[in-house]
């Protein structure tokens, strides 16, 4: 599962995460500025291949500094140019949702990130549709598939997440006892295969890095025929984009995630930039990984845990654009989008998406953001 060497968080340490990673400076963005009306009728609950026959049967909103274009995902190659590089996340999703029994009765334990053999970050929920916080205290225990899991401490600044210590290897029971993490907008538990992309190869994510989901073998062939290349990183994503709880975005706590940028990918990114072509991240996880490995000399191979929070006060240097889905209001993912193109343009794009009925979440439509 793991890709990261280095030190994960200490559950008994209380670090300060203000401006975690790069990102200090710039005008503070109030959490209210990331709010928009989000009708629940726009939440996609069924994979497009079930509804419409193919994963690529989704819409594509293209946002540039000049405005917006409405298209189909199959049109993606015409918005890119020969020599452009698409960087994808090769992490595969785990069946990380487990049934548990605690002092308050049955609940759902969603594993997020493993920091050591016996230390995980996890989210206890009443059920998939009912998040916490739950009445849990340090030292409480729960039964999970015959194992005892002890709650050590809540994560600093994110009270819905807890460090937990199992008395056995939780990862060994996931294939047998676990299911894909899903939430109330997806009432049916779809097979794990529905949550993997064409590029998924390294198990470790709690939730699907879903931006690459609509890329079918045919779409990839069309892109490569147009002279567009692919490179991979690995970032094991934890539970879904954190709702920003602090008054201003840059004060929000974040938790570390393991990542790896290989030497071959670093070389290809640097060569692409040197030749005047664009580097486009396929997913917010890719932005986080590439920015975490960026140096004044360009991209370097790197492996470890990243605490980087990309927000409007952050200088994004590694990518020229982003292919992603549509994100919830007041979340860290939405703050990242604002760092790429500016908050006014991003919020304008989201109003456009709502007005035109674009679909949200992992089975929904796609959004291509181009900075030039």
Q: Are residues 173 and 223 in the same domain?
A: no
Q: Residue 317: its pLDDT value, please?
A: 94
| pLDDT at 96 > cutoff 80 | yes
* Residue (of 238, 203, 234, 204) closest to 121 by Cα position: 238
Q: Residue 25: its pLDDT value, please?
A: 29
Whole-angstrom distance, CA of residue 228 vs CA of residue 222: 9
Q: Are residues 173 and 196 in the same domain?
A: no
* Residue (of 292, 230, 235, 296) closest to 265 by Cα position: 230
Could you tell me which residues are beta bridge partners of residue 107?
A: 100
Residue 199 burial (10 A CB sphere; 0-12, 13-18, 19+) = buried
Structure tokens at 298: 């360009």
**159-171 pLDDT, tens digit each:** 889 999 999 999 9
**208-238 pLDDT, tens digit each:** 999 999 999 999 999 999 999 999 999 999 9
Q: What is the arithmetic mean of pLDDT over 18-40?
A: 60
The angle at the Cα of 238, spanning 235 to 242, to the nearest 5 degrees, equals: 115
**310-361 pLDDT, tens digit each:** 888 888 999 999 999 999 888 888 889 999 989 999 999 999 999 999 999 9
Q: What is the DSSP string of 120-153?
A: EEEEEESBTTB----S--TT-EEEETTEEEEEEE
Share of the chain above pLDDT 90, in %: 72
Classified as helix, coil or strand, 206 is coil
Q: Residue 331: its pLDDT value, please?
A: 85
Q: Are residues 167 and 197 in the same domain?
A: no
Residue 251's pLDDT band, with cuts at 50, 70 and 90, is low
Better-predicted residue by pLDDT, 216 or 255: 216
Q: Residue 363: its pLDDT value, please?
A: 97
Range of the domain at 60: 31-93+190-370
Structure tokens at 124: 């206890």
Q: What is the arithmetic mean of pLDDT over 247-254?
A: 69
In a domain, 302, yes or no: yes
Are the beta carbons of 237 and 336 closer than 8 angstroms? no
Q: Residue 24: its pLDDT value, please?
A: 28
In a domain, 262, yes or no: yes
Q: Residue 246: its pLDDT value, please?
A: 60
> Which of 125, 147, 177 finishes a domain?
177
**132-183 pLDDT, tens digit each:** 778 999 999 999 999 999 999 999 888 889 999 999 999 999 999 999 999 8
**31-44 pLDDT, tens digit each:** 778 888 888 899 99
Structure tokens at 269: 């990114």
DSSP 156: T
Q: Are residues 289 and 359 in the same domain?
A: yes
Better-predicted residue by pLDDT, 250 or 182: 182
Q: Residue 36: its pLDDT value, please?
A: 87
CA distance to 27, 198, 254, 292, per residue, from 17 (Å): 18, 35, 7, 16
Residue reference for tokens 């460090």: 163
> Which of 177, 209, 224 finishes a domain?
177
Q: Residue 30: its pLDDT value, please?
A: 76
**60-83 pLDDT, tens digit each:** 999 999 999 999 999 999 999 999
The backbone torsions φ and ψ at residue 302, rounded to the nearest 5 degrees and listed phi first, read -155, 150
Q: Are residues 148 and 167 in the same domain?
A: yes
| pLDDT at 245 > cutoff 50 | yes
**276-303 pLDDT, tens digit each:** 999 999 999 999 999 999 999 999 999 9
The angle at the Cα of 299, spanning 19 to 267, to the nearest 5 degrees, equals: 160
In a domain, 315, yes or no: yes
In a domain, 7, yes or no: no
In a domain, 5, yes or no: no
The CATH number covering residue 339 comes to 3.40.1780.10
Q: Are residues 239 and 277 in the same domain?
A: yes
Could you tell me which residues are beta bridge partners of residue 243?
A: 331
Q: Are residues 198 and 342 in the same domain?
A: yes
Give the count of beta carbons closer than 10 Å to the beta carbon of residue 311: 29
Residue 129's pLDDT band, with cuts at 50, 70 and 90, is confident
Q: What is the DSSP string of 80-95?
A: S-TT-EEEEE-EEE--
In a domain, 141, yes or no: yes
Residue 244's pLDDT band, with cuts at 50, 70 and 90, is low
Share of the chain above pLDDT 70, in %: 89
In a domain, 21, yes or no: no
Q: Are residues 70 and 148 in the same domain?
A: no
Q: H or E element: which one contains 286?
A: helix 284-292
Q: Residue 63: its pLDDT value, please?
A: 97
Q: Residue 17: its pLDDT value, please?
A: 24
In a domain, 217, yes or no: yes
Could you tell me which residues are beta bridge partners of residue 158?
A: 155
Q: Are residues 196 and 317 in the same domain?
A: yes
Indicate the Cα dihedral angle 63, 65, 69, 71, nearest 10°.
-40
Q: Are residues 224 and 240 in the same domain?
A: yes
Structure tokens at 205: 């994510």
Structure tokens at 246: 């602090």
Q: How many domains does the chain have?
A: 2
Q: Are residues 119 and 199 in the same domain?
A: no
Q: What is the arithmetic mean of pLDDT over 39-51?
A: 95
Whole-angstrom distance, CA of residue 6 vs CA of residue 352: 43
| pLDDT at 242 > cutoff 70 | no
CA distance to 64, 127, 217, 323, per residue, from 364 (Å): 21, 23, 19, 13
Whole-angstrom distance, CA of residue 94 vs CA of residue 91: 9
Q: Are residues 136 and 279 in the same domain?
A: no
pTM over 0.85, yes/no: yes
């Amino acid at each position: 599962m793991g890709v990261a060497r280095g030190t994960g968080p200490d559950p008994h340490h209380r670090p300060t995460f203000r401006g975690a990673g790069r990102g200090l400076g710039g005008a503070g963005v109030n959490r209210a500025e990331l709010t928009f009306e989000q009708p629940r009728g726009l939440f996609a609950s069924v994979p497009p291949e079930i509804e419409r026959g193919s994963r690529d049967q989704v819409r594509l909103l293209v946002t540039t500094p000049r405005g917006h274009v409405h298209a189909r995902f199959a049109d993606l190659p015409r918005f890119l140019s020969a020599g452009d590089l698409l960087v994808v996340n090769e992490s595969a999703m785990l069946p990380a949702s487990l049934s548990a029994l605690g002092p308050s009765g049955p609940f759902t334990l969603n594993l997020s990130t493993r920091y050591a053999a016996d230390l995980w970050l996890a989210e206890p929920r009443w059920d998939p549709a009912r998040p916490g916080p739950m009445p849990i205290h340090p030292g409480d225990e729960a039964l999970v598939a015959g194992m005892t899991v002890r709650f050590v401490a809540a994560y600093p600044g994110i009270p819905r997440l807890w460090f937990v210590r199992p008395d056995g290897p939780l990862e060994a029971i996931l294939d047998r006892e676990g299911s894909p993490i899903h939430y109330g907008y997806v009432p049916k538990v779809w097979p794990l295969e529905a949550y993997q992309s064409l590029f998924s190869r390294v198990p470790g994510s709690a939730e699907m890095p879903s931006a690459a989901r609509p890329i079918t073998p045919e779409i990839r062939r069309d892109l490569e025929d147009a002279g567009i290349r692919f490179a991979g990183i690995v970032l094991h994503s934890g539970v879904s984009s954190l709702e920003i709880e602090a008054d201003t975005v840059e004060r929000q706590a974040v938790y570390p995630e393991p990542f790896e940028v290989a030497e071959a990918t670093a070389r290809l990114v640097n060569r692409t930039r040197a030749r005047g072509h664009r580097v486009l991240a396929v997913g917010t996880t890719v932005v986080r990984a590439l920015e975490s490995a960026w140096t004044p000399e360009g991209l370097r191979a790197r492996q470890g845990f990243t605490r980087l929070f990309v927000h409007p006060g952050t200088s994004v240097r590694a990518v020229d654009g982003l292919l992603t889905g549509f994100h919830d209001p007041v979340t860290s993912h939405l703050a990242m989008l604002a760092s790429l193109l500016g908050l006014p343009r991003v919020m304008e794009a989201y109003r456009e998406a709502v007005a035109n009925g674009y679909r949200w979440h992992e089975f929904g439509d796609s959004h291509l953001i181009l900075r030039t």
